[in-house]
A and B are shown apart, each in its own frame.
Chain A
Amino acid sequence: MNTRPEDLHRPDSAGPDRRSFLKGAAGLVVAFAFVRPAAAAAAQPASAAASFASPDAGKLYAWLAINPDNTATLFTGKVEVGTGLETALAQIAAEELELPIDQLDVVMGTTSLTVDQGPTYGSMSVRYAGPQIRHAAAAARKALLDLGADHFKLPAQQLLAKNGKISEIGNPSQSITYGELVGGKRLDIDIGATGTGFDMNVAPSAPVKDPSTYTVVGQSVRRKDIPGKVTGQLTYIHDVKVDGMLHGRVVRPFGIGAQLVSVDETGLKDIPGFVQVVRRGNFLGVVAETQWAAIQAADKLGSNLDPQGPTAGQAKWSDWQGLPPQEEIWDTLRKTVGGNTSVAAQGSVDMALPFAAKTLQATYETPFQMHGSIGPSCAIADVKKDGATFWVGTQMPHETRGDMATLLGLAVDQIEFNWYEASGAYGRNGLDHVIADAAVMSQAVGRPVRVQWMRWDEHGWEPKGPAIVQDLTGALDKDGNVTAWRHHMWVPTTSDTRLIAVEEVGGFPTIGSIGLGGPAITYAYSFANADVSVHGEGRVGMMTSWLRSPAQFETTYAMEAFLDELAAAANQDPLSFRLRYLTDQRAIDVLRAAADAYGWESRPSPAKPQQGNLAKGRGVAWVNRDDARVATIADITVDRDTGEIRVKRVVVAHDCGLVINPDGIKNQIEGNIVQSLSRTLHEEVTFDRAHVTSRDWQGYPILRFEEIPDEIEIVLVNNTPQYPSYGAGEPSTCPTAAVISNAVFDAVGVRLRRTPFRPERVKAAISGAS
């Protein structure tokens, strides 16, 4: 999608009712002839009368426009985050609309042009926004048939909607294009909508197609965004320029909770292009005419890769040392007061344990990890007294617009968010925070300000996925049956929605909340005695928020690795052992499909002793994440001398129900596997008592090309209309750490219970065991 959303508001010379915009990637000019009152008002500079209200979800024009050139435009509050969602939603709409997908453009996220369908997160977009768009597009097809009936003076039942045309069944000479039929008018038709966000029910009576007749859904349609991305023609949020725009950089405290004591501005005015320092409470930033000037000014104040202390720069901070010691983080978690949630309470583990033939106990520890977007967070704000315009890349434009209304003391409808794609975020990274930074700076200087974080801002200040500790106990009887299972988790919040700038400025009404960590696990085993519970906590140490498969990447690791421990203690094949205790048919389906594709031979772990430095192993694990089922099997080698793990072959069986775009799903699964391998093998945020110390890619290494698997084979399971479409953005991340841990045990008989599995740690575990 390469439409500049603000261009949609801009009246062209034909008058205020007509707008046009360039569709850069395809080189098409699409003329808009429909009227959107809110957007027409938005064409004027922000004024007291300006309203950027989102369209009424119960109107067809809120979702679709039919253009005179027989193209259509789909409007969705969802956004593209690199997962192919734009194309998947376009497929759903094109299917129902009976329009070639190349003739359908998609406008995403911009708040005055789209309905709030909830944030784009949690593998929930195709699942929830898909049906909303399907019904809206089906309502549009019905509306077009009704228009055709009027046009041809025939009953609608005698007409066919196909290939962008309405024609008489059996008489193709009676035919008219959608564009001709609509004649540039807005689709001002009531389709009805109830509820909000994910739960919104749109056009409930629309005649949706029978899935057995689908021709576009289920096809590997090429993604709409890729040509623009490989040529530099797609406009990312980082590429947007606004007239009169200044460049801002933040200067964060040396210590996370430090107070700003003083700012010495000596020398700043000597930097060509420097404009001013923005200081408000503990918020500190600089604004300049060029990026280079802003970077130099921020550096003088203390923003750089390796700051030497709270008073080393020209901005002086109090000496804050409030973080727990990194090596004590898991003990800190256990001591933090929170709330308990029981996930499973079956029988009595305490009564069963004394009768066990064998009892196992283990603790699994996982560190803070980061989203690590390749492109740093970026946003532009133009704040005026009676309105504000933003250019953003957030995964939740509608929600963050509300936060900006609170911050600026404006009504929501006085604020416009023009949405552009950002670098992949994989959750709540800095993209919302940078919007608040830009708002504070623009408000201070009275001009549009573009803020882009530096790499150390991103690594240091993006909200992290939390450190988690998990204790497990399992019991076996003399025949190797599981008689008791206990899994206790200490999970800090994965939903801190506060904003850094707001906290630094202080004195605002509350924006966002911290919350407690929740039960990020789906327990599906049928053990007679089971106690699975989560000790949810607030913020422990640094700001934490959702990172791809929030906390379930970690809980799946512990659950599926400890299950492997029990299987090994019972001397049983780890796949059969799982299947014995599962009743969930879709879980069984994916495990069997993965095993078939892999060619699984039944045997217990570890494998027979192997000669040489390189030991081979295999591992299996599965997950139910957001109702998708995924089973992963991998072959690895472990170098006993160096501790290096190499992943050779990965087989993934994936059931997310009806697949919209098979190649798109495979792209997502490959991405989840590679990213979760990176999290398993490499990733750990480091920190001292003051702040994050892994502030670049050397401090926080991620997986490189030389470590990718030889192959990733993917089997799509239960891809039939019998099942609705669940999500694929996250689930295949979850099993990976357990798979690799189990494979290492299979190879060398050593159990890895703390991520990441860096070579020195693996080597130490091997030496400790021998």
Chain B
Amino acid sequence: MPQSITINVNGQDHAIDADPDSMLLYALRDNLGLHGPKFGCGLAQCGACTVIIDGAATRSCVMPLSSVGASKVTTLEGLGTTEHPHPVQQAFIDEQAVQCGYCINGMIMVAKAFLDTNPHPTRDQIIGALNDNLCRCGTHMRIVRAVQRAAQAMQEGAQG
């Protein structure tokens, strides 16, 4: 049965009315009106719904609201905006690493979580990190280049 549940999303607590057995993705999209995380499969197979929970890339389509607890959830909107994009978002713009863009939320969120713990990755490591995310347009070559570019930019940012 629906009940009031508080979740922390993009740095703010939100009280929402929802079934604790329902998945986090629906709360983010329908209760909070966020559009970054997408419904792709509902089966944790494609990665379109990826959010970052306490630093780890997580598939929100299979995460029950009841298990979110006090964790900090970050969505694509929590990284940056078109006016002030995060370096990973900027790298995707610079490489024009998007076609339809439906999978791109997952690619960026996985890349962000990965780069936070692997600031100097090889191309193969990036490919390994992205391997469980599906893209149907075939934007893979550019996505890999974008993550390489983001790694470089974040490294320079850290040094600067």
Contacts and interface: CB of A to CB of B under 8 A. Distances in A.
Interface stretch (B52-60, B93-101, B152-160): B93-101
Interface string A405-423: 0000000000000000111
Given A232-B76, A290-B30, A374-B102, A226 B96 contact: yes
Contact of B141 (A81, A228, A292, A670): A670
A222 interface: yes
A421 B99 CA distance: 11
Nearest to A424: B100
A759 B48 CA distance: 28
A670 B138 contact: yes
Contacts of A376: 39-40
Contacts of A641: none
B43 A455 contact: yes
A663 B2 contact: no
Interface residues of B, number: 61
A712 B105 contact: no
A179 B30 CA distance: 40
Interface in A229-258: 229-236, 238-239, 241
A452 B61 CA distance: 15
A110 interface: no
Contacts of B103: 374
Nearest to A220: B96
Nearest to A706: B131
A372 B33 CA distance: 26
B45 interface: yes
Task: Name the residue in B35, B46, B79, B144 with the highest tally of chain A Cβ atoms < 10 Å from its Cβ.
Answer: B35
Contact of A670 (B81, B89, B139): B139
B92 A712 contact: no
A3 to B, nearest CB: 14
B21 to A, nearest CB: 8
Contacts of A232: 34-36, 75-77, 105
Contacts of B33: 241
A572 to B, nearest CB: 33
Interface string A256-295: 0000000000000000110000000000000000111001
Nearest to A273: B2
A170 to B, nearest CB: 40
Interface stretch (A127-135, A523-531, A695-703): A695-703
A705 B19 contact: no
A374 B49 CA distance: 11
Contacts of A375: 38-40, 48, 102
A424 B102 contact: yes
A712 B138 CA distance: 12
A451 to B, nearest CB: 13
B144 A708 contact: yes
B154 to A, nearest CB: 16
Given A82-B99, A671-B138, A227 B43 contact: no
A675 B135 CA distance: 9
Which of A424, A452, A703 has the most chain B CB within a 10 Å cutoff? A424
Given A374-B48, A423-B100, A231 B80 contact: yes
Contacts, number: 186
Contacts of B42: 295, 454-455
B101 A239 contact: no
A667 interface: yes
B99 A667 contact: yes
A696 B44 CA distance: 11
A712 B83 CA distance: 32
A226 B138 contact: no
Contact of B101 (A230, A664, A672, A698): A230
Nearest to B61: A455
Interface string B115-144: 000000000000110111111111111111
- Find the residue from A232, A421, A455 having the highest chain B CB count within 10 A: A232
B41 interface: yes
B139 to A, nearest CB: 6
B131 A704 contact: yes
A233 B131 contact: no
Contacts of A670: 138-139, 141-142
A230 B92 contact: yes
Given A374-B136, A452-B39, A712-B141, A233 B102 contact: no
B26 interface: yes
Contacts of B26: 290-292
B92 A708 contact: no
Contacts of B96: 222-223, 226, 663-664, 667
A231 B89 contact: yes
Contacts of B138: 670-675, 678, 703
Contacts of B141: 670, 674, 708-709, 711-712
Contacts of A323: none
B70 interface: no
Contact of B104 (A229, A295, A667, A705): A229
B67 to A, nearest CB: 15
Contacts of A226: 92-93, 96, 98, 101
Contact of B139 (A228, A292, A671, A709): A671
B101 A234 contact: yes
A449 to B, nearest CB: 15
Contacts of A230: 76, 85, 89, 92-93, 98, 101, 104, 108
A354 interface: no
Given A230-B89, A292-B19, A697 B134 contact: yes
A305 interface: yes
B142 A373 contact: no
B40 A705 contact: no
Given A670-B142, A678-B138, A227 B82 contact: yes
A227 B93 contact: yes
Interface string A452-467: 1011000000000000
Interface in A605-620: none
B23 interface: yes
Interface string A661-704: 00110011011111100100000000000000000111000111
A663 B35 CA distance: 27
A27 interface: yes
A746 B3 CA distance: 64
Given A234-B101, A670-B141, A671-B138, 13 more contacts: A26-B82, A223-B98, A225-B98, A226-B93, A230-B101, A232-B35, A232-B76, A239-B35, A374-B136, A678-B138, A697-B41, A703-B140, A705-B143
30 contacts: A82-B99, A222-B96, A225-B101, A226-B101, A231-B76, A231-B80, A232-B36, A238-B38, A238-B39, A239-B29, A290-B22, A292-B26, A372-B136, A375-B48, A375-B102, A670-B138, A670-B139, A671-B138, A674-B139, A674-B141, A675-B137, A675-B138, A696-B43, A696-B45, A697-B134, A705-B130, A705-B144, A706-B127, A708-B141, A711-B141
The 5 closest A-B pairs by CB, nearest first: A82-B100, A674-B138, A232-B36, A229-B101, A424-B100
Interface of A: 25-27, 81-84, 222-223, 225-236, 238-239, 241, 272-273, 290-292, 295, 305, 372-376, 421-424, 426, 452, 454-455, 663-664, 667-668, 670-675, 678, 696-698, 702-706, 708-709, 711-712
Interface of B: 1-2, 18-19, 22-23, 26, 29-30, 33-36, 38-43, 45-46, 48, 75-77, 79-83, 85, 89, 92-93, 96, 98-105, 108, 127-128, 130-144
